[in-house]
Structure 1
């Protein structure tokens, strides 16, 4: 399954919506995503599973690129 991860680069500040960045990762579960990103220096806001029409919509975006972690 593909997951969209919303995150902030700065872990010491309160999250601000305008600073939210997203990435896409393929993993078996949300827990697997968290384990893959465990050592990264950013603040995860939300992990969203993508499937069906929502996945198709995201894949059509020019910014869609699966991250290799």
Structure 2
């Protein structure tokens, strides 16, 4: 499954919506995805499964790239 992760780059700062970044990662579950990125020091706001029409829409974006672990 593909998941979209919304995060802040610095875990020590208060989340500000304008600074939110996102990435795509393949995993079995939300817990699996969180464990894969735990060592990166991100302040994870939300992890969302992406499928169906939403996934097709995201694939059209030039920045779409699935993170390999």
Specify the SS of the correspondent of 2:47: strand
- Quote the offset at 1:13 in angstroms: 1.0
- Quote the offset at 1:31 in angstroms: 0.9
Question: What is the root-mean-square deviation in Å for CA atoms of aligned residues?
Answer: 0.7
Specify the SS of the correspondent of 2:35: helix
Kindly report which structure 2 residues correspond to 1:21-36, keeping only aligned pairs within 5 A, or say none. Answer: 21-36=21-36
**Misfit runs of 4+, over 4 Å:** none
Specify the SS of the correspondent of 1:38: helix
Tell me, in whole angstroms, the C-alpha distance in 2 between the residues paired with 1:32 and 1:50.
15
| TM-score normalized with structure 2 length | 0.95
The answer on 1:53 being equivalent to 2:53 is: yes
Kindly report which structure 2 residues correspond to 1:13-28, keeping only aligned pairs within 5 A, or say none. Answer: 13-28=13-28
**Higher percent of residues as helix:** 2
